[in-house]
Amino acid sequence: MQDIFAAPQQFGPGFLESAPVLAYHSDQFVLPLPPGHSFPMSKYRLLREAAEATLPDVRVAQAVAASDGELALAHEPAWIDAVAGGTLSAAQQREIGFPWSERMVERSRRSVGATVCAARAALFGGEGVAANLAGGTHHAYAHKGSGYCVFNDVAVAARLMQAEWHRDRHGRSGPARLLRAIVIDLDVHQGNGTAAIFRDDPSVFTLSLHGAHNFPFRKEPSDIDVDLPDGCGDADYLGALDIALNAAWARHGDELPGLAFYLAGADPHEDDRLGRLKLSAAGLAERDRRVLAALRERGIAVALSMAGGYGRDIHTTVAVQRRTLQEALASWRAWPQRQALTAVKESGS
Ligand SMILES: [Zn+2]
């Protein structure tokens, strides 16, 4: 478990009292893209720089790379080998949308690693809330990549956290209880890869709100899917979100998840090139607040991934994602266990 922990000094004495929301990045691993390629690769670096400049309480750390064994928790070995070994066919590369390179492999491993680090900090580090400044690669299936997604960060992290949870809890007070997880996927595109990976796994609940007429055009059934019409605005979106979240909690009954993955896509924004919805920046901030509050009220630790964002002006996307981090920071500050820690510290004990 220690091998992919972030820098050990982060977890030294005093860590819990002083550490802010942890955000993990992998933006120095930039893909070489052909001229004219439309993927906004620089958004990851811009988001980290914006976070460092304007949210000093959000400490940013570099993610470690996910190993083949960790990837194999959610991916078929043949897919991992084809990516790692550079034997992807032209069709497979086209479906991903990126040409293969060594850097693509490294970046994909780091992006998964960043979600793993965030989930671990949120769940085992006692933070309650932590983030990956990239990730949310929800179009990746067990056996193939798609739509700019090579490996499915959330699927790997969910399975790895379940394994670590079992190992950590086993024998403490009888048999370990299964760690349930929920994926709240609010990227504007449906989380088809994630839904397919967990279709027959009741321990991971999948919820997706997405544009009905957007990619992927062949959607996979999640536990809850909400298809939104083109042009959907703040009020309709937030109303649908409330209904979907309440339905998710109702479906869980007394057995709430212990861990959530929140894909806080910026692509439902009205100025997104690909989104087709009409959410304002204020509407997206309210979306983030509602999700984070719902999780905090239930004591469900959450790892955020930034997921998609293709603003006509890249700075619009970065501003939306920076705001998501700001909301995450507010939720981290209000995290109940953290308040208890602060109270202990302030009382001098
Ligand atoms: Zn998207």
Q: What is the pLDDT of residues 248-271, one digit of tens each?
A: 999 999 999 999 999 999 999 999
SS3 (DSSP) at 81 = helix
Query: What's the whole-number average pLDDT of the chain?
Result: 90
Cα–Cα distances in Å, from 86 out to 91, 105, 106, 173?
13, 9, 12, 46
Cα angle value 9/10/12 (rounded, 5°):
60
The encoded tokens of residue 147 equal 């739509």
Q: Determine which of 77-91, 167-181, 185-199 has the lowest per-residue pLDDT on average.
A: 167-181
Distance (Å) from CA 148 to ligand 1 centroid? 10
pLDDT per residue as tens digits for the range 145-163: 999 999 999 999 999 999 9
CA 216 to centroid of chain Cα atoms:
19
The Å distance, Cα 188 to ligand 1 centre, comes to: 5
- How is residue 243 written in tokens? 């209904």
pLDDT at res. 259? 97
Q: In 10 A of CB 175, how many CB atoms?
A: 10
For residue 121, the CA-to-ligand 1 centroid distance in Å is: 25
Residue with tokens 């002006």: 313
**What pLDDT score does 5 carry?**
39
Residues having C-beta closer than 5 Å to ion ligand 1: 187, 189, 265, 267, 308
